Amino acid sequence: MSLFAEVWDAVKAVAAGLETVHRRVKQPPATEFYPYKKPEIPPVSVQFLALIQNEDGTDRCVACLQCERVCPSQVITIERKRNPEGKGFVLERFDLDFANCMHCANCVEACPVSAIVTVGEFEHAVYDINFLKADKAFLDHIGHEAKIWYSPKFGVEMRTPEGKIVKAPPEMQPGGLAELLKEAEGGEGA
Amino acid sequence: MRNPTTIEPVPGRTDEMIINMGPQHPATHGVLKVVIGLDGERITRAVPHIGFLHRNHEKIEEARTYTQIISYTDRMDYVSGLQNELPFILAVEDLLGVEVPPRAKLIRTIFFELFRIASHLVWLGTGMLDLGAITPFLYTFRDREKILEITEKTAGARMLPNYFTFGGVRRDVHPDFFKDVAAFLDFFETRLPDYYALVLDSPVFQARAVGVGVLSKERAIARGASGPVIRASGVPYDVRKAEPYDAYPELEFEIPTREEGDVYARFWVRFREMEESVKIIRQALEKVPKTGPYKGKVPPRVKPKPGARYRAVEIARGHLGAYVVSDGSEYPARIKHRSPSFANLQLIPDLFVGARFADAIAILSSLDPVFGEVDR
Ligand code: SF4
Ligand code: SF4
């Protein structure tokens, strides 16, 4: 190929590239203005974990140590004592080191009573790594602040403005499709 | 003692310059160092150094229970995170004798192929960045973002979801999942022509890629290459066809193969693979029941029978295998991962020597190594 033909090919290629890009210029931007506009994170997303307390303020956690046992990074530390009034155990200490947590959600899978849950709260960035060493008060606090959370046992749950804990509608549940389809069928039948 | 991995200057030879490329070189896709001997523009010798990211992966896994290990396997090839879980899970499923429901198999296959597209998009973006084209990078990452969003909605994380589990998947899919995937495929098919126009069909790219870094069939087989690298050299080897797993036996797809073995062929194979993945996902979407079981019966404590099993899958980079030895306890006795990038990287001396230095970058990006998986 002569030099002229080569140069001409290159010019055509650049023009074709520009044309491709130009066709896409008018599309809406794909980026989000993050600090000003917070993206919506689904509740199943493993970001901060939280401990959920019941509506009457008691711990859901029964201190069964399952989460501590399954954690691959071994960042959960639980101390418990026998419940003075009645059966079982109560928590004395529940520490979770988010700095070393690998966000695998094994603890959430393992919990038999849906006490430890994933919430869609993701702003982990702090100046001091020690802020990420969470104790029970901190985890409870995230649990109280959370409007929506997920655990495999109860699915997605929500807190109403009055502080009641209710199950989220099936559009938000993993596997909610079964219920939605049944509703749609029922609606047609009626 | 002489260190076998460095190159010494040849006494009396003054026209050879020895330089280090990496480990902080932006085009090495991680932490690869290649010691290169240069004669003018031509590479005379090349010795790759790996291990900068070594973190004792296999040994750590021996000290974890089977359930805990799944989240570690994600961290090998972090660009196609979800795909890495499968060989280990298949091996343990075999040892446990667990039945996987067909719906779970199809869901796994859909995710598997989505991550192949995601991984190839990252490769295309960063690979073209190495060659000096910035626009494809912006486009591919925008498209990949859609896959990650679909994954996050169902699996709970974007890159390292820890979603597959013994006997199926961890939780049922989000109600929007099938709709979202179908919408993504429609969107992606309108985007693929853009990539063809910007990259594969562009004479500027072809001038840099055609005939560069030619890998012969024999060399590719001798070095144990796999994935798009070996398929671009004319060997139609794909684990999805050779040892089918999950839902692949019921799906129809082709193995794109090309004879040339140059950089252009490796790019071409990956482009065609993305098209095939779209086809596979479409078939799987048609077959998958909307509701039903997503997980088979698995004992709460995973304790496989004593024995050993090797299973492999075809991830975006090639043949990824896991060899699991069980002694009947909760902890595996030994785990070995066979990773594709590690084998593909051995081709560096073959491909680099004789090439121009600028072409070395193109060759490296066409091999598409990910160092989490090379070093483990
Ligand atoms: S998410 Fe995983 S690493 Fe983090 S505390 Fe739970 S089990 Fe441990
Ligand atoms: S698994 Fe649940 S109930 Fe048991 S200790 Fe952990 S948080 Fe508490």
SS3 string, chain B, reads CCCCCCCCCCCCCCCCEEEEECCCCHHHCCCCEEEEEEECCEEEEEEEECCCCCCCHHHHHHCCCHHHHHHHHCCCCHHHHHHHHHHHHHHHHHHHCCCCCHHHHHHHHHHHHHHHHHHHHHHHHHHHHHCCCCHHHHHHHHHHHHHHHHHHHHHCCCCCCCCEECCEECCCCCCCHHHHHHHHHHHHHHHHHHHHHHHHCCHHHHHHHCCCCCCCHHHHHHCCCCCHHHHCCCCCCCHHHHCCCCCHHHCCCCCCCCCCCCHHHHHHHHHHHHHHHHHHHHHHHHHCCCCCCCECCCCCCCCCCCEEEEEEEEECCEEEEEEEEECCCCCEEEEEEECHHHHHHCCHHHHHCCCEHHHHHHHHHHHCCCHHHHHC
CA distance A85 to chain B (A): 31
Task: Name, in order, each residue with C-beta under 8 angstroms of B163's C-beta and a sequence gap of 6 or more.
Answer: B82, B85, B111, B151, B154, B155, B156, B157, B169, B170
ipTM of the complex: 0.81
Record the tokens describing residue A49, joined without a space: 């974990």
Count CB neighbours of B360 within 10 A. Answer: 23
E strand segments, A25-182 = 49-51, 76-82, 89-97, 116-119, 133-134, 148-151, 155-159, 165-167
Tell me whether residues B171 and A17 touch, CB distance under 8 A: no
**Within a domain: residue A6?**
no
- Nearest-CA residue of chain A relative to B179? A177
What is the band of B6 on the pLDDT scale with cuts at 50, 70, 90? Answer: low
Cα A148 to Cα A100: distance, rounded to the nearest angstrom: 25
Angle between helices B102-130 and B357-367 (to 10 degrees): 170
pLDDT for B26 equals 67
Task: Give the CA radius of gyration of chain A.
Answer: 25
Residue B366 lies in a domain: yes
Q: Please tell me the distance from the alpha carbon of residue A114 to that of residue A103, in angstroms, as a whole number.
A: 17
Q: Is 70 exceeded by the pLDDT of residue B355?
A: yes
Chain A neighbors of B173, CB-CB under 8 A = 174-175, 177
In the prediction, which pLDDT does B4 show? Answer: 55
Query: Is residue A37 one of the residues assigned to a domain?
Result: no
The pLDDT score that the predictor gives to residue A186 is 65
d(CA A150, CA A45): 9
B339, part of any domain: yes
Per-residue confidence band for A190, with pLDDT thresholds at 50, 70 and 90: very low
CA of A149 to the centre of ligand 2 (A): 16
- d(CA B239, CA B338) in angstroms, rounded, equals 13
pLDDT in tens, B81-127: 888 888 999 998 888 888 888 888 888 899 999 999 999 999 888 88
Ligand nearest to the CA of A106: 1
| B48 lies in some domain | no
The better pLDDT of the pair A77, B24 is held by: A77
Instruction: Count how many domains chain A has.
Output: 1
Give A190's strand partners.
Answer: none
Rounded Cα distance between B183 and B124, Å, is 22
The partner residue sitting opposite B198, judged by closest CB among A20, A70, A175, is: A20
Residue B283 domain-assigned?
yes
Q: Please name every residue paired with A76 in a beta bridge, in sequence order, or none if there are none.
A: A96
- Which of A60-64, B197-201, B274-278 has the highest mean predicted lDDT (pLDDT)? B274-278
B204 has a chain A CB within 8 A of its CB: yes
Range of weakest confidence among A105-114, A175-184, B2-11, B97-106 = B2-11
Whether chain A has a CB inside 8 Å of the CB on B294: the answer is: yes
Determine, yes or no, domain membership for A15. Answer: no
Cβ B115 vs Cβ B147: under 8 Å: yes
> Considering CB atoms only, which of A16, A41, A106 is closest to B71?
A106
CB pair distance less than 8 Å for A72 and B64: yes
Nearest CA to ligand 2 atom 3: A61
- The C-alpha of A112 sits at a distance from chain B's nearest C-alpha, in angstroms, of 12
Confidence of residue A115 (pLDDT cuts 50, 70, 90): confident
Contact criterion met (CB < 8 Å) for B172 and A175: yes
Closest residue by Cα to atom 4, ligand 1, is A101
Closest residue by Cα to atom 2, ligand 2, is: A111
Say if A161 falls within a structural domain. Answer: yes
Q: How far is A119 from chain B (nearest CA, A)?
A: 10
In a domain, A95, yes or no: yes
Region for B103 from its dihedrals, namely left if φ exceeds 0, alpha if ψ lies in -120 to 50, beta otherwise? alpha
Measured between CA atoms, the residue of chain B closest to residue A107 is B68
Q: Is A117 in the pocket of ligand 1 (CB under 6 A)?
A: no
Query: Measured from the CA of A65, which atom of ligand 2 is nearest?
Result: 5
Tell me which residue range forms the domain holding A126: 48-172
Q: How far is residue B131's CA from residue B241's CA, in Å, rounded to a whole number?
A: 33
Q: Search chain A and give the residue with CA nearest B62.
A: A72
Domain that holds residue B206: 57-375
Q: Evaluate whether residue B39 is within a structural domain.
A: no
- The answer to the question of residue B260 being in a domain is yes
Establish if A132 belongs to a structural domain: yes
Q: What is the pLDDT of residue B262?
A: 87
Distance from CA of B358 to the nearest CA of A (A): 19
Reported residue count of chain A is 190
Ligand 2 centroid, distance to B57 Cα (angstroms): 28
Q: Is residue A131 included in any domain, yes or no? A: yes
- A44–B135: do the CB atoms touch at under 8 Å? no
Give B64→chain A minimum CA distance, Å. 7
**Would you call A72 and B294 a contact, using CB atoms and an 8 Å cutoff?**
no
Of B23-27, B140-144, B214-218, the poorest mean pLDDT is in B23-27
B192 interaction partners in chain A (CB closer than 8 Å): none
Pocket lining for ligand 2, CB < 6 angstroms: A 61-67, 78, 110-111, 113, 115-116
A106 Cβ below 6 A of ligand 1:
yes
Count of domains in chain B?
1
Residue A55 belongs to domain with CATH number? 3.30.70.3270
Beta strands B307-315 and B168-169, pairing class:
unpaired
Structure tokens at B132: 């000096």
Q: What is the pLDDT of residues A1-40, one digit of tens each?
A: 688 888 888 888 888 878 878 887 887 877 888 888 888 8
Contacts of A170 in chain B (CB under 8 A): 175
Residues B99, B309 contacting (CB under 8 angstroms): no
What residues in A contact B198, CB-CB < 8 Å?
17, 20-21
Instruction: Look up tokens 């089918």; give the residue.
Output: B244
pTM to 2 decimals? 0.86
Given CB atoms, is B66 within the 8 Å cutoff of chain A?
A: no
More confident: A156 or B10 = A156
Residue B35 lies in a domain: no
Tens digit of each residue's pLDDT (9 = 90 or more) over A171-188: 777 777 777 777 777 655
Give the CATH number of the domain where residue B355 resides.
1.10.645.10
In chain A, % of residues over pLDDT 70: 97
- Helix B263-287 to helix B357-367 angle, to the nearest 10 degrees? 20
